[in-house]
Chains A and B, each alone.
Chain A
Amino acid sequence: MLDTYWLDDLSPFQLLLGTLVVGSITTALILVGYIFVLMVIRNRRKRWADTLQARIEDEISIWLAGDYSTWELVISFREELKKDPRAGGVILTVILATSKLFRQEGQAALRELLTSLNLHRTCYRLLKSGHWYEQAYATRIISQLQMVLALPLLKRKLTTRNMTLRLELITAMVSLGDQTWLRDVENTSFRLSDWEQILLLERFRRMDISQLPPFDAWLTSSHPDWMLFGIRLCRHFNRFDKVTELGGLLRTDNERIQMAVLDAFEYLGSPETIPFLIDYIRKATGERLIRALQVLGNQGDPDVIDLIVGYTDHTDGTVRFTALKALKEIGLSRDELAGLTTEPRYIDHLFDPKLS
């Protein structure tokens, strides 16, 4: 009764402000409480996880040394899981970390252990219906422990919008040796960013895989991103046998593709690239011309001197300078270069040892 009377006295304006004050103070108090509770819970959980992790690591070491049978280990871990189902996460973490230290046989044993504990089902469940980060984590375990049976599940997820998950999926599929998915990935509507390409290239390079993805197909892909990735793969894995195909790609209209081919040519450094470069340089302009001159210079072939000399009186200063630099790379002396330009500062720059 008293409350109603008191509230009746308030204008809507005051009521709104009062609600905001009460709401803000309550929220602030809840947040402060939560911050401290969070701190206590976090510390406790960390202590528990650290202790459990140390014990699991010890037991796995004993088991790997052969002093403990798989059955004994499984019983011990099941006890832990019975006590607290969250122990599954810790066990998975330890198995994942341990598996990185081993090759096929060791990984097979750990895979068997995972299956005996029924944790492989946890991985599948997470992959099917977890948040994206749970799916990515499960994918990583599947990839690391070579759980080939999960391939159909991985394929189904390939259309994901999440870049991080897609990266994990592609890495896992390459790691599991399945190449049939290639077109599926390529035909998803999502672009393959430079970031993904860099990470995938580095992951492929570090992987102990017998067969690379068939990037020959990517070189003729209708999707520029995948074509670019194919070119970069050629460069990364020293595919000298692909020079002709790469040279053909210099005729595409896409500037990124052309620049990637020039990068690949520079890295491969094969004399077979020179005819393609000579052909290209005659049509190239701007940044692409500068890059082509650099690449041609780095090849060090004296047969192209006359061609490059033609660019030392180009209208663009950067082109003139790059041409002189290319000639220096091929082996022309300071005096010879000085005779080709009216700008001595270019020569000073090129022959300054601190700038080389």
Chain B
Amino acid sequence: MSIWADLFTYLFLLYTLVLMLIYSASAIASYRVIRQHVAETSFVDYRQILTSPLSPKISIIAPAYNEALNIVDNAMSLLALEYPNFEVVIVNDGSKDDTLQRLIDAYKLEKTALMIQQRVECKEILGVYKAQDEAVSHLTVVDKRNGGKSDALNAGINVCSGRMIACIDVDCVLERDALLRMIKPFLEETDQKVIATGGVIRLANDCVVSDGRLIQVNVPRNLIARAQVLEYMRAFLLSRVAWAKVNGLLLISGALGLFDKQTVIEAGGYSHKTVGEDMELVMRMRRMMEERRQPYAVRYIPDPLCWTEGPSGWQILGRQRNRWTRGLMDCLKFHRKVFFNPHYRIMGLVSYPFWFFYEWLAPIVESLGLIASLLLWILGVINASSFWLLLATVYSYAVCLSCFAIWVDQKTYLQYRSKRDLGRLILMAVIEPFFYHPFTVYSSIRGNIDYLRGKKGWGSMTRQGLSKPAPAPPTTPTPTN
């Protein structure tokens, strides 16, 4: 029994140490990349691109389902983005509310005779609407039968006319110059084709948003949302940047991604078979490029470009993580051919195995490790001090990594400036492993079980809406002579 206990302990230790090593290496590499990027950015006046006729046309595709409440404001925010040549394609995915009618009324849209080429699979398009008003001539609204997010994105791809497509969540708040920044990697690469670029997503809960623009960044008051702020900082600032550096990025968040349209079409567009359509598309595009032996890259912009509202309740968070896990399992299953396959180079030998062992398997290993440790402890074959030491190692490393993420943000983008916000984040780094992390592990396990049971679909995701600025205090009339 004792041999088994030792074996288990050493395996668990090895797994933990390798994970810590990968995290540390990627955190340090990310910091170096971000620092270089920030220095470069200080020399670039992105507005110079605004007058250039050489900028490729970008089509922003935003699927909308039952978004009547905010759709007009969201569309206005997208139309106000800074870029010389772009269109906004909002796809009404068979909403049950009056999403379409609100858009028609607000922008005086009329049905057009637009010729649609069915380049990727999607459900029937019922109509394409455009405005006669020149000021919003770059808005197109597509009405189609309900088919889910990936189907709506495919419909947008069929309708749009840009060379590049930006797939976004309609309720996200984009930085005004997000497109200008995201187009850069596509234009600066000479020896390989950039097929996709992702941007950093940040939590907008409790931030002040006005006219579709983020005007004040705050740390959320809600503890669940605050824990996600830290989680997003770790994921986006310390991990994805490094993966992109070695061209090993497999996931570009569905909230914001810019793609080469031709490559997306050639790869077959978004898949209807998974709830992890964002990751699945990137993996399929990469596979296609690898199989064709074409040099390519998937890039990543470390600038905070997109602000989104994260779940602030356990139930919604649980559903989200459950869906993420099922999506990941789909992607790993669909592309299992890639696993340790040298033909797919870094994708097959590094990225896929990492996602397999340390993204999908990690919550399972963690749960099994905890259960087994408790069992072995009860049976009296585990060294209590070693067990506590291992837990302390994992915990202290998690805190250290969170602190590093906060430090990187302070050294580069400085999103959280007040002492109070920083104090809250640091405190969250200390307490988050006790209440937030176990829940995400639990949700992930639930996701695995649901996947095996054959559960499909997104589950409902209600949002509270982003904060509006407080109304200005009544001004005292100034006395006049």
> Given the complex of chains A and B, what is the CA–CA distance between A38 and B422 in angstroms?
12
- Nearest A residue to B56 via CB reads A194
* Complex CA–CA separation, A26 to B184 (angstroms): 39
A115 beta carbon closer than 8 Å to chain B: no
A17 lies within 8 A of B386 (CB): yes
Assess the B400–A28 pair: CB atoms within 8 A. Answer: yes
Identify which of B46-54, B208-216, B284-292 touches chain A.
B46-54
Of the listed residues A35, A36, A38, A167, the one surrounded by the most CB atoms of chain B closer than 10 A to its CB is: A35
Distance of A90 Cα from B439 Cα, bound (Å): 50
* Contact of B422 with A198 in the complex, beta carbons under 8 Å: no
Q: Are B187 and A21 in contact (CB under 8 A)?
A: no
**Given A14-B386, A21-B392, A355-B113: A31 and B188 interface contact (C-beta under 8 Å):** no
* Chain A residues within 8 Å of B115, by CB: 321, 345-346, 348-349
Residue B293 interfacial (CB < 8 Å): no
Contact at B390–A17, with CB atoms within 8 Å? yes
Partner of B48 from the list A11, A39, A202, A267 (CB cut-off 8 Å) is: A202
- Assess whether B361 is interfacial by the CB under 8 Å rule: no
A-chain residues with CB within 8 Å of residue B110 when the two chains form the complex: 354
A121 CA / B401 CA spacing, docked (Å): 43
Q: Considering the chains assembled together, what is the distance between the CA atoms of A38 and B407 in angstroms?
A: 9
Residue A64 CB within 8 A of the other chain? no
Does B42 contact A133, Cβ atoms closer than 8 Å?
yes
Contact indicator B396/A28 (Cβ below 8 Å): yes
Encode contact with B along A96-118: 1 for CB under 8 Å, 0 otherwise: 00000000000000000000000
Cα separation A290 to B55 with both chains bound (whole Å) = 19
Q: How far is the CB of A249 from chain B (nearest CB, A)?
A: 17
A36 touching B52 by the CB < 8 A rule? no
Q: How many A-B residue pairs have CB under 8 A?
A: 137
The reply to whether B396 and A198 contact each other, CB–CB distance below 8 Å, is no
Cβ of B426 under 8 Å from chain A = yes
Alpha-carbon separation in the docked complex, A167 to B396 (Å) = 45
| Interface: B389 (CB within 8 A) | yes
> Is A219 part of the contact surface with B, judged by Cβ < 8 Å?
no
Please classify the interface of chain A as helix (H, G, I), strand (E, B), loop, or mixed, using the class held by over half of its residues.
helix
Do B112 and A194 have beta carbons less than 8 Å apart? Answer: no
Check: B419 CB closer than 8 A to any chain A CB.
Answer: yes
Q: B188 to A14, Cβ gap below 8 A?
A: no
Contacts of B13 in A (CB 8 A): 13, 16-17
Q: B372-415 vs A: 1/0 string, CB under 8 Å?
A: 00000000000101100110110011011001101100110000
* Shortest Cβ distance from residue A77 to the other chain B in the assembled complex, whole angstroms: 25
Interface residues of B in 278-324 (CB under 8 A from A): none
Give the interface SS of chain B, mostly helix, strand, loop or mixed. helix
* A131-143 near B? 1/0 per residue, CB < 8 Å: 0110011001000
- Flag whether A61 is at the interface (Cβ < 8 A): no
Shortest CB-to-CB span from A56 to chain B, Å, is 21
**Distance of A91 Cα from B285 Cα, bound (Å):** 51
B132 / chain A contacts, CB cutoff of 8 Å: 353-354
Task: Report yes or no: B113 in contact with A345, Cβ–Cβ below 8 A.
Answer: yes
Q: A17-B390, A21-B389, A194-B188 are in contact. Are A202 and B43 (CB under 8 A)?
A: no
The reply to whether the CB of A179 lies closer than 8 angstroms to some CB of chain B is no
- Chain A 299-335 near chain B by CB (<8 Å), digits 1 or 0: 0000000000000000001100100000000000000
B54 touches A32 (CB 8 A): no
Q: B190, B406, B419: which contacts A191 (Cβ < 8 A)?
A: B190
Given A31-B404, A193-B189, A346-B115, A18 and B389 contact (CB-CB distance below 8 Å): yes
Chain A residues lying within 8 Å of B54, measured Cβ to Cβ, are 194, 197-198, 201, 232
Does B55 contact A21, Cβ atoms closer than 8 Å?
no
**Footprint of A on B, CB under 8 Å?**
9-10, 13, 20, 39-40, 42-44, 48-49, 51-55, 110, 112-115, 117, 130-132, 137, 184, 187-191, 383, 385-386, 389-390, 392-393, 396-397, 399-400, 403-404, 406-407, 410-411, 417, 419, 422, 426, 429
On A, residues with C-beta under 8 Å from B are 11, 13-14, 16-18, 20-21, 24-25, 27-28, 31-32, 34-36, 38-39, 132-133, 136-137, 140, 163-164, 167-168, 191-199, 201-203, 225, 232, 263, 267, 317-318, 321, 345-346, 348-349, 352-355
- 16 more CB-based (< 8 A) A-B contacts, given A35-B403, A198-B54: A13-B9, A14-B383, A14-B385, A20-B20, A21-B389, A24-B397, A31-B406, A133-B40, A133-B43, A140-B43, A201-B52, A317-B117, A345-B115, A352-B114, A354-B112, A355-B112
Pairs A–B under 8 Å by Cβ, sample size 18: A25-B396, A25-B399, A27-B403, A28-B400, A31-B400, A31-B403, A31-B404, A35-B426, A137-B43, A164-B43, A195-B184, A195-B187, A198-B48, A199-B48, A202-B51, A352-B114, A354-B130, A354-B137
